[in-house]
C-alpha cells in the first residue's frame, strides 16, 4: 500500500467514512531577506515539496474533528464554544482559524486527518498547517475551493493566518510564511504592499540544500518577539527625530529611503540597537542584489550574498546559534557549495546552502561527517524542490 492509501485507510477507520478531498500545504525556505518581513521589507521565500498533508470530508454537523499523526490525538472543536485562552498547543491554531475565519454557521463541520513531513525547525510547519486549515475551513464555509490563480483570496487567507499567529498563538510573526505557503513557488514579496513577483527557479545546474542542524529552536519564541520589539523601538526613535519633515513617518524600518539610512544610523550611533538597524538595511539591499544575481544566472554572486546575510544575522542581529554558524561554515569550508545561511527565525533549526548538482553528494558527505565529528549530532541534508501553493484535490 502507498503512504497515501494508508492515510486514507486510517481516515476511514477513524471517521467511519471515506475522505472526499485531499489537501497539501507546502513548507518554505527563505532564500534571502531574513527578519525584515515584520518591518515592511522585501523577502525571497520559496515553497518546498516538504509539506503538511490532509484528508477530509464534510460531516454535516457543526463540529470540527481533527486527528494529527504528530500528536496521535483526535480532538473535537465546537465552533460555538466560547473562545478559550490559548493553551500553547497546536489546538490554538485551529481555534484561531475557526474563530477569525468566522466558522459560525451550523453544519459546516469537517473531519480532517493530518500528517506532515516538516519535522525540521525553520521550514515553517506552523504556517503550512495554518494555510491548510484556512483553505479547508473556507471550503467548508463557502463550498468554494480557492484556485491557485486566485491571488487576492489567497493573500486574504495569508493575512488571516498571520492574525491567528499574532493574536491566538502569541507570536508576532510577519506575513512572509503564510504568503509563501499559499502562493507557492519562488518569489520576491514586498511585505509592506504585498506585491509579489514570481522568479525563475534556481537553474537546473544548482540546488538549494536544506541542512538540518538537529538543534531545536528553544529560544525562538522569546528571541523573535524581542527582535520585533527592538525594531519597533528603532522605528519610534527615528520617527520622533524626524525634524526635517514632520509629516513623513516611516512606520516600517526596511522601507526607509536610501538617503535617510545614513541619517538614521548616525542618529543611532551610540545606541546598542544600531547593529540591529544595520542588519535590516543591509539585508534589504542584499535581497535586491540577489534578485539581480538570479536574473543574470550569477550563482557565485548569489552564494556570496547568502554568506553575507548569515554573517549579518549572526553578528548584528544575533539570531543564529553555534550549530547554525558551524554547519554554514562547514558548507563553505568544503569548497563544494557557493554560499550558506540560516533560514527562517533562527536560534536553531535549518540552514540552506547553494550547491552545484555535481557536488551534491560530496557536499552532503563532507558536511555530515565534519558536523557529526564536532557536535555528535548527525545532521540531515536534503536537496529542496520548489512546490506550488497549498491546494485541494477532490478524491
Ligand atoms: C519566522 C516568521 C517570519 C519571518 C522569519 C524570519 O519564520 O514567521 O514572519 O519573520 O521568521 O525572516
Same domain? 115 vs 213: no
Question: CB–CB of 349/218 below 8 Å?
Answer: no
Same domain? 186 vs 241: no
Q: pLDDT for 49-95, tens place per residue?
A: 999 999 999 999 989 999 999 888 899 988 766 566 778 888 999 98
Gap from CA of 194 to ligand 1 centroid (Å): 15
Share of the chain above pLDDT 90, in %: 75
Same domain? 162 vs 83: yes
- The closest alpha carbon to 343, from 299, 301, 313, belongs to 313
CATH of the domain at 285: 3.30.70.890
The CB density around residue 335, as the number of other CB atoms within 10 Å, is 10
pLDDT band at 344 (very low <50, low <70, confident <90, very high): very high
Same domain? 210 vs 172: no
The residue that leads in pLDDT, 133 or 221, is: 133
Q: For residue 268, which phi and psi values (nearest 5 degrees)?
A: -90, 5
CATH of the domain at 178: 3.30.230.10
| Residues 6 or more apart whose Cβ sits within 8 Å of residue 242 | 248, 249, 250
Substitution site in 124, 345, 351 for ligand 1 pocket (most atoms within 8 Å of beta carbon) = 345
pLDDT at residue 250, as a whole number: 56
| Nearest-angstrom CA–CA distance, 226 and 103 | 33
Q: pLDDT for 145-185, tens place per residue?
A: 999 999 999 999 999 999 999 988 889 999 999 999 999 99
Same domain? 194 vs 236: no
CB environment 6-24: b (16+ within 10 A), e (fewer): ebbeebeeebeeebebbbb
Q: pLDDT for 198-245, tens place per residue?
A: 998 899 999 999 999 999 887 667 899 999 999 999 988 888 877 665
- The closest alpha carbon to 363, from 384, 339, 334, belongs to 334
Domain count, the chain: 2
Size (the chain), residues: 395
pLDDT at residue 87, as a whole number: 82
Same domain? 167 vs 218: no
Average of per-residue pLDDT across 123-134: 96
Residue having the nearest C-alpha atom to atom 9 of ligand 1: 174
To the nearest 10°, report the CA torsion of 87, 93, 99, 102.
-170
Domain containing 267 equals: 206-384
Same domain? 117 vs 244: no
Substitution site in 35, 93, 122, 342 for ligand 1 pocket (most atoms within 8 Å of beta carbon) = 35
Ligand 1 site residues (CB inside 6 A) read: 30, 34-35, 37-38, 124, 173-174, 176-177, 344-345
The whole model's pTM is what?
0.94
Same domain? 22 vs 171: yes
Same domain? 177 vs 263: no
Same domain? 150 vs 220: no
Sign of the alpha-carbon torsion through 362, 365, 371, 373: negative
Same domain? 214 vs 192: no
Same domain? 163 vs 99: yes
The CB density around residue 241, as the number of other CB atoms within 10 Å, is 12
Amino acid at each position: 500500500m502507498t503512504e497515501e492509501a494508508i492515510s486514507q485507510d486510517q481516515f476511514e477507520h477513524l471517521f467511519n467514512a471515506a475522505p472526499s478531498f485531499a489537501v497539501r500545504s507546502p513548507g518554505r525556505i527563505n532564500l534571502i531577506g531574513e527578519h525584515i518581513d515584520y518591518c515592511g521589507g522585501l523577502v525571497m521565500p520559496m515553497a518546498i515539496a516538504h509539506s503538511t498533508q490532509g484528508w477530509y470530508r464534510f460531516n454535516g454537523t457543526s463540529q470540527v474533528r481533527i486527528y494529527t499523526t504528530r500528536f496521535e490525538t483526535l480532538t473535537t472543536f465546537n465552533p460555538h464554544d466560547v473562545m478559550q485562552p490559548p493553551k500553547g498547543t497546536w489546538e490554538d491554531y485551529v481555534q484561531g482559524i475557526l474563530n477569525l475565519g468566522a466558522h459560525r454557521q451550523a453544519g459546516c463541520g469537517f473531519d480532517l486527518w493530518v500528517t506532515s513531513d516538516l519535522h525540521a525547525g525553520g521550514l515553517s510547519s506552523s504556517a503550512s498547517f495554518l494555510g491548510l486549515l484556512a483553505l479547508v475551513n473556507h471550503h467548508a464555509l463557502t463550498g468554494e475551493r480557492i484556485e491557485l490563480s486566485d491571488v487576492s483570496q489567497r493573500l486574504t487567507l495569508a493575512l488571516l493566518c498571520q492574525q491567528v499567529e499574532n493574536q491566538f498563538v502569541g507570536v508576532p510573526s510577519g506575513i512572509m510564511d503564510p504568503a509563501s505557503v499559499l502562493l507557492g513557488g519562488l518569489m520576491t514579496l514586498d511585505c509592506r504592499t504585498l506585491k509579489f513577483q514570481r522568479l525563475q527557479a534556481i537553474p537546473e545546474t544548482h540546488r538549494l540544500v536544506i541542512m538540518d542542524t538537529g538543534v531545536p529552536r528553544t529560544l525562538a519564541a522569546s528571541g523573535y518577539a524581542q527582535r520585533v520589539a527592538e525594531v519597533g523601538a528603532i522605528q519610534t526613535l527615528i520617527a520622533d527625530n524626524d525634524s526635517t519633515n514632520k509629516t513623513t513617518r516611516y512606520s516600517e524600518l526596511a522601507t526607509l529611503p536610501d538617503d535617510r539610512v545614513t541619517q538614521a544610523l548616525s542618529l543611532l550611533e551610540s545606541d546598542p540597537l544600531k547593529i540591529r538597524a544595520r542588519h535590516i538595511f543591509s539585508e534589504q539591499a542584499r535581497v535586491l542584489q540577489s534578485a539581480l544575481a538570479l536574473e543574470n544566472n550569477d550563482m557565485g554572486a548569489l552564494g556570496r550574498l547568502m554568506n553575507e546575510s548569515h554573517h549579518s544575522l549572526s553578528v548584528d542581529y544575533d539570531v543564529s546559534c553555534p550549530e547554525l554558524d558551524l554547519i554554514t561554515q562547514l558548507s563553505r569550508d568544503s569548497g563544494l557549495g557557493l554560499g550558506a545561511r540560516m533560514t527562517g527565525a533562527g536560534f536553531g533549526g535549518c540552514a540552506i546552502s547553494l550547491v552545484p548538482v555535481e557536488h551534491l553528494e560530496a557536499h552532503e558527505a563532507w558536511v555530515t561527517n565534519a558536523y557529526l565529528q564536532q557536535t555528535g549530532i548527525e545532521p540531515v541534508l536534503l536537496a529542496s524542490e520548489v512546490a506550488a501553493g497549498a491546494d485541494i484535490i477532490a478524491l
